[in-house]
Structure 1
Amino acid sequence: MSSSFGERYSYFKQVLSPIWLFKSEKELQLAKEIVNTPGVPNERVSVADVKWARTLYASAFHPDTGQVNPLIGRMSFQIPGNTIVTALMLTFYRSPLQQVSMQFINQSFMAFCNYTNRNAQAPLSNQQVLLGYLSATGTAVGVSFQLSRVAAKATNPLMAKLVPFVAVCAGNMVNVPLMRQQDFLEGIPVNDSPLEQGGGSNRLGQSRQLGVMCLAQVVATRISAAIPIMVLPPLVMNYLNKSAERRNIQVHKKSFGRPLWVLFEASLIGVCTYMVLPLAVALFPQHSSISIDKLERPLHRQIKETHPNVQVVYYNKGL
């Protein structure tokens, strides 16, 4: 995939589209066959067919294993999934119990997505997965609980609405490194050719330097996505609520007012997620390359000794 931000954005905007969730098992397998068929496009398979297959494949299959991801962990589920979870967090935030429950749901969803889209070349043990999940959930729940107590004493109701955002950021800073701890403990694999869909390459070693850099980029991506999705809707709803109060419109006291208010906020979150998520994911390339001269010295010497003709290596940042 091109390293151009514009092309990455266009690519992820297509891959993240929820429309791919409605494809049948037969269509998924057809897409996989086309992606893994050499010499396409040809007389039987058009350019449009190949583009359709590659987009569907990327939205539903793991790029390393070639297996269909569980529905909740698919790229095409990220927009509706994040919309639902964020709407829950921004709706049920008034009590510590609600905060704790929603952060538990959010971190469970994030942990599952992290595990599903992990770098399969650096597998985690069940103990490591459990540690990452419990640590991230505990951090987000703890931060949420403490901040909710502080926000309860604040005069501005907007403070309570922003508690989930801070808790999510804290949880991501723990969730991502722990769920992908192999990346900085042992490094991420580097290969002699691009990790293309349906293709193969030879592993040349593992780079801890790249592992740390990729984890930082993933955390930055998650926080960048959370800022407009979890901050903008509360600001807009707070403004609308104050405007309604100035006009003496008691929307929350009407029998139909509260559901409509929640539905409008959920729709606003959905629009923000649809617009922002592809931008955030496109900030850094998923598949990239680097000169071996920029790798740590031990790995550089190892590659020079075993593969003297290799000057550039390729790696998968993950999502």
Structure 2
Amino acid sequence: MESTFSQRYQYFKEVLHPIWLFKSKQELQLAKDIVHDPTVPNQKISQDDIKWAKTLYASAYHPDTKEVNPLLGRMSFQIPGNTFVTALMLTFYKTPLQLFTTQWINQSFMAYCNYTNRNAQSSLTNSQIALGYFSATGTAVGASFYLGQLAKKATNPLAAKFVPFAAVIVGNLVNVPLMRQQDLREGIPINDENGNKLGKSRKLGVRCLAQVDATRIFAAIPIMVFPPIIMSYLQKGVEKRQLKLHKSFGRPLWVLIEASLIGVCTFMVLPVAVALFPQQSSLPVEKLEKSVQDDLKEKYPDIERVYYNKGL
């Protein structure tokens, strides 16, 4: 576990890199073999090989199930995935249909990531998954419509650009708790240092979900706020200098520039956001709720710390 922010940042900077998406099934399996048994394959393995394997493994595998995640749910897909979805939201936002479509795509992607990277010891029924998905999508779309109407009355045309950002924040505040409602109702699973399940903690579940929401909001601010502001200044500069771009050329150029800005912001900010709180962490038993403390002391009197997976 990375104990400091600096260590976590360096770790996620490497794990989130999109280059890991291009590794073959054979390389993924080799990384898994090395991580779980450094003597496999039967040859000398250097420290660089072990570091490579651990990074590739973390970028593609679920930490609990130890199975490879689907492509869209992998850590290494988060930067290109978020860049693409954000570019859609900041490009197509002027009509109700565009708002609906882009917010639906965004919430679908976020819900899929939430589900894929959930704590594997928490079980969700299909009805609970559907409730979380449709509630978050409906909330985000409703918020975007309402805020879009307010933006039309604003004197600053830049206000409309911030509608997708506000809708994303509202949607995430609904999406995360509903997609991981079991962590709130029953608690998040807690384990010993060897990964053996000891019980569940609702207090820890609330704490973890609050951290996940804080991470999502922190990441969204620079990724969805800075590019529109920069684009506004660039476009005003072009107008001030009376530079005229052909319509068939100008529109794609502005879209490409904004998408590039979003990509740069995502590449820089996402590792920082994910590193704010440890994903795999531990805490002393006395910091859990009283009922859980008493249960652990009765069943496992020698346990002093518990370990948990916050999830993403």
State the TM bucket, normalised to the shorter chain: over 0.9
Match of 2:252 among 233, 256, 259: 259
Tell whether 2:232 aligns with 1:242: no
Aligned to 2:296: 303
Distance in 1, Cα, partners of 2:308 & 2:113: 20
Aligned to 2:144: 144
Distance in 2, Cα, partners of 1:271 & 1:304: 49
Distance in 2, Cα, partners of 1:290 & 1:119: 17
Amino acid of the structure 1 residue aligned with 2:53:
A
- Check whether the contact 1:40–1:50 (CA below 8 A) recurs between aligned residues: no
Distance in 2, Cα, partners of 1:5 & 1:212: 22
Aligned to 2:272: 279
| Normalised TM-score (structure 1) | 0.95
- Check whether the contact 2:83–2:263 (CA below 8 A) recurs between aligned residues: yes
| Normalised TM-score (structure 2) | 0.97
Distance in 1, Cα, partners of 2:166 & 2:41: 48
- Check whether the contact 1:41–1:50 (CA below 8 A) recurs between aligned residues: no
Aligned to 2:79: 79
Aligned structure 1 segments of 4 or more residues deviating by more than 2 angstroms: 38-43
Aligned to 1:196: none
State the Cα distance separating 1:260 from its structure 2 match: 0.9
State the Cα distance separating 1:242 from its structure 2 match: 1.3
Distance in 2, Cα, partners of 1:105 & 1:300: 42
Q: Which runs of 5+ in 1 are unaligned?
A: 194-199
- Check whether the contact 1:143–1:170 (CA below 8 A) recurs between aligned residues: yes
Distance in 2, Cα, partners of 1:55 & 1:40: 17
Larger mean Cα displacement after TM superposition, 153-162 or 102-111: 153-162
Distance in 2, Cα, partners of 1:40 & 1:26: 13
After superposition, the C-alpha distances for 1:222-276 in whole angstroms (9 at most, x for unaligned) are 000000000000000011111111122233x432111111001000000000000
Tell whether 2:218 aligns with 1:224: yes
After superposition, the C-alpha distances for 1:108-164 in whole angstroms (9 at most, x for unaligned) are 010011111010011211111111000000000000011111112222110000000
- Check whether the contact 2:33–2:40 (CA below 8 A) recurs between aligned residues: no
State the Cα distance separating 1:106 from its structure 2 match: 0.4
Q: Which runs of 5+ in 2 are unaligned?
A: none
Distance in 1, Cα, partners of 2:10 & 2:41: 21
Q: Relative to structure 1, is the Cα distance of residues 26 and 9 closer, same or farther in structure 2, using a 3 angstrom cutoff?
A: same
Within 5 A, what are the aligned runs for 1:112-151?
112-151=112-151
Paired residues in the alignment total 312
Amino acid of the structure 1 residue aligned with 2:66:
G
- Check whether the contact 1:133–1:175 (CA below 8 A) recurs between aligned residues: yes
Amino acid of the structure 2 residue aligned with 1:303:
L
After superposition, the C-alpha distances for 1:3-36 in whole angstroms (9 at most, x for unaligned) are 2000000000000000000000000011111111
Amino acid of the structure 2 residue aligned with 1:294:
K
Tell whether 2:92 aligns with 1:92: yes
Larger mean Cα displacement after TM superposition, 46-55 or 211-220: 46-55
Amino acid of the structure 1 residue aligned with 2:243:
I
Distance in 1, Cα, partners of 2:169 & 2:31: 36
Amino acid of the structure 1 residue aligned with 2:107:
Q
Aligned to 2:209: 215
Distance in 2, Cα, partners of 1:180 & 1:36: 29
- Check whether the contact 2:38–2:45 (CA below 8 A) recurs between aligned residues: no
Distance in 1, Cα, partners of 2:132 & 2:156: 35
Distance in 2, Cα, partners of 1:250 & 1:125: 56
Distance in 1, Cα, partners of 2:14 & 2:220: 20
Larger mean Cα displacement after TM superposition, 288-297 or 224-233: 288-297
User: Once superposed, what is the RMSD of the aligned Cα atoms?
Assistant: 1.4
Distance in 2, Cα, partners of 1:110 & 1:153: 30
- Check whether the contact 2:39–2:45 (CA below 8 A) recurs between aligned residues: no
Match of 1:202 among 196, 199, 221: 196
Q: Relative to structure 1, is the Cα distance of residues 27 and 40 closer, same or farther in structure 2, using a 3 angstrom cutoff?
A: closer
Distance in 1, Cα, partners of 2:140 & 2:240: 36
Q: What is the SS of the residue equivalent to 1:257?
A: helix
Match of 2:282 among 289, 300, 303: 289
- Check whether the contact 2:186–2:201 (CA below 8 A) recurs between aligned residues: yes
State the Cα distance separating 1:39 from its structure 2 match: 6.3
Distance in 2, Cα, partners of 1:23 & 1:42: 22
Aligned to 2:45: 45
Aligned to 1:165: 165
After superposition, the C-alpha distances for 1:43-70 in whole angstroms (9 at most, x for unaligned) are 6121111111111111111111111111
Distance in 1, Cα, partners of 2:179 & 2:311: 12
Distance in 2, Cα, partners of 1:19 & 1:144: 34
